[in-house]
Structure 1
């Protein structure tokens, strides 16, 4: 199953990136022409820059999720209901989130107009569109990280925490030296999945801006889709996919190396 649904598509995409193909006619081998064209395209660098912005800002989700998890990891009356409220955004489909935030940002009747006192064209401004979409992406990503940390907190060894308290650790010292080391696997999962989500961001961009205005909010995943679906350039699209795949592999390998070294 892994070979059919993971390895084979990866190898097929790499092979396809060396061809020119419209999805119908015969493939034409072009070597590195797709990659040369890609590095000479301004949209590629815009998408790469936006992916970097997504990466930096979406990494706010793990620490904020940890704060919420620490707050919700207590036995008080009504905490389960509060947990469900925090978790609710994660189960909402991305398309629905995109529509809701599009209405929120609408300069004619959106809630942001009411809060700001005047219409703010967030999604129509090339300097603001990417940040508006990232704000929408953070809304479900923070609860996702919160759940990972909550799972880690419930599985912690209480004897280690008690031993830390007996040694005089409390507050920030207890969190840094006793709690966070036990949350290392949850932290690894939260950071890695957040980075993957930032690099493969697509649905919110498709719903909210379609990569606009003037390709200012496009990212590599949407650029790849745009070239394949709209312009039938499947070989060129595969080259974009390979570049995105390499970026993900490099980061995941780096994070795994850090995790294994810390465990040793």
Structure 2
């Protein structure tokens, strides 16, 4: 099981010999930091409506599963093995729970249709304000739906729409839910890692807009004021960044 400390080896030896509840709890306590670490990382990329305690419960399930299935005789660090199980359990749980409500999914579809209709009519990029006016929604609500649907789609980044092509625009296809195999879960984690790398390939303005919109949770209008650009231009930069990321994945 790779190089481990004396205390860690002792806990594992006790668990191998007894495999009772006390020994299992010892291992869970010892590796709880892995759950906390991955909960924090995943939660930072999800809407505030997703509770960290729910993610923690999913992560604990992944850790427990890792303990039961880990072979200490293999030349593999438990931390590495458990991390895959923990992240996979959290992502899989999010998919099964379908944390993006049906009402939000309906709004995503409405925004998609509105974007297509407005862009065909105006023959140019459209802003969040124009979408909101067309749908009689608040601009902030439109931006929030865009943000939540973006994170929802990260959980299915490798899925494609009709004709194996990603859709360009503010809205995009949210595929049907399906249960993932452990192998697919590992691939999904790799996709999320690739996402981080792809974002770093964007130009400075695109990275900044994504950071301010998704991390700092500023509106397009607020970002525009901060950067001295129009709201429409910020919307355009955002769309370009999302499209580039999708092209990198295709």
Q: Which range, TM-score by smaller chain? A: under 0.3
If the length of structure 1 is used for normalisation, what is the TM-score? 0.25
Q: Whose RCO is larger (CA < 8 A, sep 6+)? A: 1
If the length of structure 2 is used for normalisation, what is the TM-score? 0.26
